[in-house]
Amino acid sequence: MSPSATHTSMFYGTDRDYAAEAGGFLRDGLERGHRTLVMAPPSRTELLRSELGNDADEVTFVDDSIAYAPQWNAYRVLLDFAAAAPDVRSCVIAEQRFGRRTPAELVDYRRLESAINLVFAEHPVDLLCPYDTALPSDLLDIAVHSHGGMRRGGSVAANPGFQDPLAMLTDLSAVAVPPVGSTTLDCTQHSDVALVRRSVRARGAEIGLDADVVADVVLALTEVLTNALLHGSPPALVHLYDEDGMWVCHVQDGGGPPVDVLSGVVPPAQPADHGYGLWLARQLVSAVDVGSNPTGTHVRLHTRRP
Amino acid sequence: MILGTHRAPSDLGSMEPGTHLCALEQGSARLDRVAATFVAQGLAAGDQVLYIASEQEVGELLRVLPGNLDARQAVGTGQLMTSSFGDAYGSSRPEDLATVADGFRAAAGLARKRGFPGLRVAARMDPLADLLGSFDEVVEWERMAGGLQRELEVSSVCLYDAGALVEGQGAALASEHDGLAPDLDVPPIATFLAVDEPWGLRVTGEVDVSNRDLLHRMVQSRAAVVPRLRLDLAGLTFADVGTVARLRSIAAALPDSGYLVLAQVPAVVRRILDATGLGHDRLRLEP
């Protein structure tokens, strides 16, 4: 048994394929005394329950509408599950329903599947991500490039398409330039954060977002802007614009310490006074881009437009 | 602000404790306004404020204080205290400035004992020249007061009617202060007012990186007196995760018998607590 994590994808075309492959993965785990967790849509969960029979009682099921709401929450579900019995290996099935995805959300999903290789590298966990072969090619592409192994017919083979996660995350952190016509708010003093909130609330209501959604955006933006004021160099700017169906709140500061590609993908391990900002932002909006270059540190918060 | 002063505050809310300001304004009405601004900002920041003025001037202050400060409650909890000049400084020339210093020291200590993070004083100074006998003695007094207040971390504004001063006196007074108090009232984004029953405080407005230190020092000052407190958050319209995380830390550091109750918790705070899991046995949510 390897002490480190494995991250494996599998393709299925029919319910029967799915039940046999994913069910076999769980049964193998149970036979070895591993703990088992399934984060999946209800339709998949039903297939696994009937495939496993009484053995299904040993499995923890979490509905994808909870585990992936938002998608970065899946890391916390995983961490919490692993923390309950840190010395026992876990077998985890991770799959979410894919409705309409904007380009920004797709990029963030690619990050999620890539970063998991690094975040959980030292955890005793075997992750299996089932992909329906009927999914669009850009999603199947993620299955091919982000998983170290591929499961087929009950056995796992090394995946020749696997790409170095750090290199992929670095590629995905390229800085985007705010488009011409953006509204830009200047924020140099701590007292400016309240003024920015007021403008963003007004703008959110104007474009027809629900009050709850606006409240989440305002909180996420406050966190990112606070980081910029405390850790970046002035001035901090907030650019507001639309892009590919998303409303973007883009925070740019004058630069600071280099940003780790994994910053804010998991919460602080212990309760702390600091360190929640970026992680909380990922829990509140549809997608978050983080990058830095000589123009400064850039964080983009994406919200679906109504 | 006076050129060359190094302690001039950028705003009254987060002013460094021990700042010694003055106001040189023509006529009582303008002085009333400067006094009200100073008192309102001090109360909003959670400090105890002492206003030394005549009965009529006190009445005027209570009339013009903004409604959200609830002047009557502030008087009831002792967060706002008023005193006549005679009661504060005596009716005859003090023999020794050390007795005045003792009075200041006792007042600052009492503020902390009653659960306030600090004391601020606004004083109408026009009777002082009569008490001390000469303008030079007033200047001498102000020099002593400035040093003492820095030591005790008591901020103040000394209110002088410029109409009663002759040429050169204004400049002499100003040079004994850290700056001029503003008369333009920019309302703070939050107010933190003491509540006695149940022991704690009431928070209204928005708390973020610009003012969360004010909230935390007030919660800690209240907790130092009675470690069982209730924060009435009915009027809280925004808080960031840093604010909530620090409240959790304060609750975690209370003695076993202590607790910090969050009452009328707004959606944004529940959202933060749910998302971060920043709970603690001694951080209790009142439904």
Q: Which residues numbered 84-103 in A keep a CB inside 8 Å of some CB on B?
A: none
- Is residue B68 predicted with pLDDT exceeding 80? no
Predicted structure pTM score: 0.90
**Per-residue model confidence as pLDDT tens digits over A248-285:** 999 999 987 888 899 888 888 888 888 899 999 999 99
pLDDT, residue B36, reads 93
CB B133 within 8 A of CB B168: no
- String of b and e for A130-160 (b: at least 16 CB within 10 Å)? bbbeeeeeebbebbbbbbbbbbeeeebeebe
Write out the E strands in chain B: 20-25, 48-52, 80-83, 119-124, 155-161, 179-180, 190-195, 200-207, 228-239, 259-263, 283-286
Which of B4, B35, B66 shows the shortest CA–CA distance to B158?
Answer: B35
Query: What's the one-letter identity of residue B5?
Result: T
Q: What values do phi and psi take at B92, rounded to 5?
A: -130, 160
Query: What's the one-letter identity of residue A45?
Result: T
Chain A environment of B206 (Cβ under 8 Å): 194, 197
Q: How far is it, in rounded angstroms, from Cα A183 to Cα A196?
A: 12
pLDDT, residue A2, reads 54
- Is residue A146 predicted with pLDDT exceeding 60? yes
Helix (H, G, I), strand (E, B) or coil at B248: helix
A269 touches chain B (CB under 8 A): no
pLDDT band at B41 (very low <50, low <70, confident <90, very high): very high
Query: What is the rounded average pLDDT of the residues A30-47?
Result: 97
Query: Which part of chain B has CATH 3.40.50.300?
Result: 20-180
pLDDT, residue B92, reads 76
CB pairs under 8 A between A and B: 68
CATH number corresponding to B190-286 = 3.30.750.24
Domain residue limits, chain A: 6-171, 183-304
What CATH class is the domain A183-304?
Answer: alpha beta
Cα angle for residues B121, B208, A225 (degrees, 5° grid): 135
Compute and round to an integer the Cα radius of gyration of chain B.
20
Say which of B189, B278, B280 has its CB closest to residue A194: B189
Interface test with B, best of A79, A193, A224 (most B CBs within 10 A): A193
Q: Do A193 and B252 make contact, defined as CB atoms within 8 angstroms?
A: no
What average pLDDT does the structure give for chain A? Answer: 94
Q: How far is it, in rounded angstroms, from Cα B71 to Cα B135?
A: 34
Q: How many CB atoms lie within 10 A of CB A78?
A: 24
**Per-residue model confidence as pLDDT tens digits over B184-193:** 667 899 999 9
Check the CA dihedral B271-B276-B281-B283 and report its sign: negative
pLDDT band at B75 (very low <50, low <70, confident <90, very high): very high
The region that residue B115 occupies, defined by phi over 0 for left and psi between -120 and 50 for alpha, beta otherwise, is: left
pLDDT, residue A259, reads 84
Say which of B210, B245, B275 has its CB closest to residue A272: B245
Query: What is the rounded average pLDDT of the residues B78-103?
Result: 82
Say which of A218, A219, A271 has its CB closest to residue B278: A271
A191 touches chain B (CB under 8 A): yes
Sequential DSSP letters for A127-183: EEEEEETTS-HHHHHHHHHS-SEEEETTEEEE-TT---HHHHHHHTTPPPPPPTT-E
Distance from A284 to chain B by nearest Cα, in Å?
Answer: 9
Chain B environment of A274 (Cβ under 8 Å): 242, 245
Q: What values do phi and psi take at B253, rounded to 5?
A: -90, -5
pLDDT, residue A17, reads 96
**Per-residue model confidence as pLDDT tens digits over B233-283:** 999 999 999 999 999 999 999 999 999 999 999 999 999 999 888 999 999
Distance from A293 to chain B by nearest Cα, in Å?
Answer: 26
pLDDT, residue A119, reads 93
Compute and round to an integer the Cα radius of gyration of chain A.
21
A239: enclosing H helix or E strand? strand A236-243
β A287-293/A296-304 pair status: antiparallel
- Is residue B4 predicted with pLDDT exceeding 60? no
**Per-residue model confidence as pLDDT tens digits over B272-282:** 999 888 999 99
Q: How far is it, in rounded angstroms, from Cα A231 to Cα A247?
A: 25
CATH number corresponding to A6-171 = 3.40.50.300
CATH number corresponding to B20-180 = 3.40.50.300
β A155-158/A149-152 pair status: antiparallel
- ipTM of the shown complex: 0.90
Say which of B240, B268, B277 has its CB closest to residue A215: B268
A219 touches chain B (CB under 8 A): yes
pLDDT band at A196 (very low <50, low <70, confident <90, very high): very high
Q: How far is it, in rounded angstroms, from Cα B275 to Cα B252?
A: 19
Sequential DSSP letters for A114-134: HHHHHHTTTS-EEEEEEEETT
Distance from A206 to chain B by nearest Cα, in Å?
Answer: 20
Query: What is the rounded average pLDDT of the residues A178-206?
Result: 95
